[in-house]
Amino acid sequence: MIDRASPGAPSPSVLIIDDESGIVDSLRILLKNEGFAAHVALGGQEALNRLSEIEPDIVLTDVRMPTVGGLQVLSAVRSRSPDTPVILMTAQATLQSAVQAVNEGAFYYIQKPFRNDELVAILRRAVEHRRLRVENKTLKQEIKRRDTSVSGRPIGSSKAWTEIVRLAETVAPTESTVLLQGESGTGKEVIARYIHTLSNRNEGPFLSINCGALPESLLESELFGHIKGSFTGAVKDKTGLFLSAEKGSFFLDEIGETTPATQVKLLRVLQHRQIIPVGATESEPIDTRLIAATNRDLEEEIRRGNFRRDLFYRLNVIALHLPPLRERAEDIPLLVDAFLARLADNRGEAPKQLSESALELVQAYNWPGNVRELENALERAVILSDSDVIPPSALPERVTTLTPSRLVEDRPTPNPTLETIERAYILWVLNSEGGNKTRAAETLGIDPSTLHRKLSRFGSEAA
């Protein structure tokens, strides 16, 4: 009988495939008595239909079957679950067929008729082989996760940021499409790369493109590729980024900037997992995980007719809203230390540090450009400062001349309009919440996106 790792451990499942019912029944009884959970399929086509239903630990299949043979079953299993051992059975074994089977990934090739104890021994080795492969993969992912948490984990200890990182770690092992939303410079690509690093695709490529940086015609060619002669200048075939990101992740930044025509093509990709290169007539399958990002309110863009609702639903499987830097100001000292250390490493010198007064200014500034603006300001300060301690004078003028904005006027406007009263009240609540828009929206009883739109309408002072 099969040794169990612990009492109550599930029995290893085997899918038995043969087009002769007598063989299937006898093998099912044998394996059940030996402690396996035996499932059966009469022929290769029935096996393909059952593979997704039962997800067996081992596949035991005959080679010669009508319509769908054992090698086709092997190929299907390898593409679905590379860790699942496949054992091939045949009454007409040749050295050539055995070599072909092993080259295509078969675990073992056994000739009929075989002894029952011989088959059971092979199955037990297959169970152990699968267990070791799964444990090894899990261990490698855990080591990768620990290494990343030390050196590559997105920086920040605020509640808002740690929640985003936790969600990223949760969704990373899945194949789900992820939509990252947030203002420019909040770290959307950092989170996208982190998701890729922790995913099962981390050995594949991570490719990215800014959809707003290219005109529609060029963007389509970059995404889907083109064939020679499909347009002026297409002097040779070009592989698009969707295909180039095979077995990896593809980061579509600023997807809200795409045109309706491009959105239709992206919808087709998400629905069918296929692309059609420019000028081609046949589609090509793709195997890449899509991570999209935008700084736009896509639901508002849908209402304006600028973004397809069906594409939004396809993208919005898992949505992560990245907070702006002003809503996680407690993370600024950590980011400052990390950026200064990185700059020092790039320049081959000892890290500099901000003076106490310079750090106070940095923490008090609103950072409309978010983390990206902070990093650029620090790079400028390092270059301009001759001392190991960076003074306030090395910071950009917009940071050092900070003056608190007046959220509410001292004197009420004569005969104020309803909009004026609404503006004053919203800004008063925002001020009382320390500028935290999430808490302000909760106090006001409105959605954060609604608050964002109202503040944008009030103008730069409010934003």
Q: Quickly state the pLDDT bin for 418 (edges 50, 70, 90).
A: low
Q: Do residues 208 and 335 share a domain?
A: no
Does residue 372 belong to any structural domain of this protein?
yes
Give the model's pLDDT for residue 81.
85
**Does residue 146 lie in a domain region?**
no
Report the CATH number that the domain containing residue 361 is assigned in CATH: 1.10.8.60
Q: Which of 37, 95, 105 is nearest to 71 (CA)?
A: 105
Range name among 220-234, 296-310, 449-463 with the lowest pLDDT average: 449-463
Residues 239 and 299 in one domain: yes
- The CATH number of whichever domain residue 453 belongs to comes to 1.10.10.60
HEC assignment per residue over the chain:
CCCCCCCCCCCCEEEEEECCHHHHHHHHHHHHHCCCEEEEEECHHHHHHHHHHHCCCEEEEECCCCCCCHHHHHHHHHHHCCCCCEEEEECCCCHHHHHHHHHCCCCEEEECCCCHHHHHHHHHHHHHHHHHHHHHHHHHHHHHHHHHHHHHCCCCCCHHHHHHHHHHHHHCCCCCCEEEECCCCCCHHHHHHHHHHHCCCCCCCEEEEEHHHCCHHHHHHHHHEECCCCCCCCCCCEECHHHHCCCCEEEEECHHHCCHHHHHHHHHHHHHCEECCECCCCCEECCCEEEEEECCCHHHHHHCCCCCHHHHHHHCCEEEECCCHHHHHHHHHHHHHHHHHHHHHHHCCCCCEECHHHHHHHHHCCCCCHHHHHHHHHHHHHHHCCCCEECHHHCCHHHHCCCCCCCCCCCCCCCCCHHHHHHHHHHHHHHHCCCCHHHHHHHHCCCHHHHHHHHHHHCCCCC
Q: Does residue 145 form part of some domain?
A: no
Instruction: Tell me, yes or no, whether 286 and 349 share the same domain.
Output: no
Q: 135 is written with which tokens?
A: 């444990």
126 and 160 fall within a common domain: no
In a domain, 376, yes or no: yes
Per the model's pLDDT, the better-predicted residue between 454 and 285 turns out to be: 285
Structural domain containing residue 248: 155-321
The reply to whether omega before 113 is within 30° of 0 (cis) is yes
* In contact, 90 and 106? CB cutoff 8 Å: no
Is the model's pLDDT at 3 over the cut of 50? Answer: no
159 shares its domain with 303:
yes
Looking at the structure, do residues 289 and 356 belong to the same domain, yes or no?
Answer: no
What is the pLDDT confidence band of residue 403, given thresholds at 50, 70 and 90? low
Strand partners, 285: 274
pLDDT tens readout for residues 129-148: 888 877 766 665 555 554 44
Q: What pLDDT is recorded for position 362? A: 93
Give me the chain's average pLDDT, please: 85
Last residue of a domain, one of 369, 400, 431: 400
> Is 286:246 a contact under the CB 8 Å cutoff?
yes
Question: Average pLDDT for residues 82-87, to the nearest whole number?
Answer: 90
Q: Is 406 exposed, middle or buried (0-12, 13-18, 19+ CB in 10 A)?
A: exposed
Q: Evaluate if residue 115 carries a pLDDT over 80.
A: yes
The CATH number covering residue 65 comes to 3.40.50.2300
**Half-sphere exposure of residue 75, counting CA atoms within 13 Å on the CB side?**
9
| Of the candidate ranges 39-43, 405-409, 422-426, the one whose mean pLDDT is the lowest | 405-409
CA dihedral sign of residues 182, 187, 193, 194: negative
Polymer length of the chain: 463
Gap between the Cα atoms of 144 and 322, Å rounded: 24
Q: Is the pLDDT of residue 291 over 90?
A: yes
